[in-house]
Structure 1
Amino acid sequence: MSASLRITEIFYSLQGESRSIGLPTVFVRLTGCPLRCVYCDTEYAFHGGERQSIDEIVAKVESYAPRYVCVTGGEPLAQPDCLPLLTALCDAGYEVSLETSGAMPVDAVDPRVSRVVDLKTPASGEQHRNLMDNLPHLGANDQIKFVICDRGDYDWARFQLDQYQLNEKVGEVLFSPSFEQLPARQLADWIVEDNLPVRFQLQLHKLLWQDAAGH
């Protein structure tokens, strides 16, 4: 039987976050996630979806004639056939990123993929799921993201940044305020005050379209 995955949606939009923010991108949202972060904006992707073969997924992506493809979820790596899908998209010539919770191993991901790995903060409710063994496998093509809910999260993230020298390991370290939990200006002020080597980011899709989903 050929590889297949359960897909919640495939759509074309602007990348709302990460290093490629603002670039027209096809999103392939896989179904299912073992985490339950308090700020999750894609709970509709926990269940359901439609099973599609890798060939069907690649054909749908191709119909948009994109340059960039983002495989997201849910937690895409919870489906083992995510790995051959990522390779197939790279082979098709796209610049591919993977948005992952950081709770699943990333070492087997095609090295051409930019892995955007969350480190879950204490206020997320899922800090204990962080797989710190992922860090040695990350490099200049990868990104680490912190969603900051409060000052405690910020201080925790700042400690991780220093302890693991994250800005030297990966291409981008991203600090993002949790939507409607932490004022964006507050996080920006903290970053500037502490002169952190990180990129502040807002979720562009929520500013443009008041879009609840994490595009």
Structure 2
Amino acid sequence: MSEPDTRASLRITEIFYSLQGETSRVGLPTVFVRLTGCPLRCTYCDTAYAFTGGRSMLLTETLAEVAQHGARYVTVTGGEPLAQKNCLPLLQALCDAGYQVSLETSGALDVSGVDARVAKVLDIKTPASGESDKNLWGNLISLNPQDEIKFVLCDEIDYLWAKQVLDEHALASRCEVLFSPAQGQLDPTVLADWILRDHLPVRLQVQLHKLLWGNQQGK
């Protein structure tokens, strides 16, 4: 693997330090690097502010700002981080620097080039998202046991659809699977009852950061 180009630049909406609110790393102090831009427009998106704007930063500048927080864990997110070609060298550079790195991606873009040390969190889009036709199913073959698959569910139709996908693709045998209720659209208790009723091999995920800080940006 060649060294990443430290002169590479990225468009970054924000870099901040907080608790990881999702995935199996929930609760861990983490630095978040939120890249600007996304080709999708999910109905429940809570980071539309990252679609445009941001600031241009060199890879070296990004690494320096991440280092200021003194954290062990780093999450690269968006928007859709893989929409920027220099996301891949950023991920490699973060791994090379000794961080435990995760990538939050929509699954609509190819993940095969992502550094194998990165824990990929693949968000499979459900019908209510309005973007389910963008799912790149070939991405499933690039998943490793350290990776995770996430479904954001808006209603029972989404749940039944995700349940079918879970079974058809044997997702739970590939990696951990997360079922997350869309905020304000699906009661977490209702989703919990469905999961228990159907004995699904999935983890119920609620967004810890929203329970703690609401919908504040940079949290």
Name the TM-score, length of structure 2 as normaliser.
0.96
Distance 1:5 1:131, change over 3 A: same
What is the identity percentage for the equivalent residue pairs of Structure 1 and Structure 2?
63
Structure 1 residue ranges (4+ consecutive) displaced by more than 3 angstroms after TM superposition:
212-215
Tell me the amino acid that sits aligned with residue 196 of structure 2. V
| Pair 1:33 & 2:38 matched | yes
Q: How many residues get paired?
A: 214
State the Cα distance separating 1:211 from its structure 2 match: 2.2
State the Cα distance separating 1:19 from its structure 2 match: 1.1
SS of match in other structure, 1:51: strand
Structure 2 stretches lacking a partner, 5+ long: none
Instruction: Name 1:20's counterpart in structure 2.
Output: 25
Tell me the amino acid that sits aligned with residue 181 of structure 2. P
1:46-61 pair list within 5 angstroms: 46-61=51-66
Instruction: Name 2:196's counterpart in structure 1.
Output: 192
What is the CA–CA distance in structure 2 between the aligned matches of 1:86 and 1:35, rounded to whole Å?
22
Could you list the per-position Cα deviations for residues 72-121 of structure 1 after superposition, in whole angstroms to 9, with x for gaps in the alignment?
Answer: 00000000000000000000000000000010000000000000001000
What is the CA–CA distance in structure 2 between the aligned matches of 1:167 and 1:138, rounded to whole Å?
11
Relative to structure 2, which stretch is displaced further, 203-212 or 7-16? 203-212
| Pair 1:176 & 2:180 matched | yes
Tell me the amino acid that sits aligned with residue 183 of structure 1. D
**Contact 1:11/1:28 (8 A) holds in 2:** yes
Tell me the amino acid that sits aligned with residue 194 of structure 1. D
Instruction: Name 2:91's counterpart in structure 1.
Output: 86
Instruction: Name 2:160's counterpart in structure 1.
Output: 155
Name the TM-score, length of structure 1 as normaliser.
0.98
SS of match in other structure, 1:55: helix
| Pair 1:100 & 2:105 matched | yes
Q: CA RMSD in A?
A: 1.1
Tell me the amino acid that sits aligned with residue 212 of structure 2. L
Instruction: Name 2:12's counterpart in structure 1.
Output: 7
Structure 1 stretches lacking a partner, 5+ long: none
What is the CA–CA distance in structure 2 between the aligned matches of 1:194 and 1:214, rounded to whole Å?
36
State the Cα distance separating 1:212 from its structure 2 match: 4.9
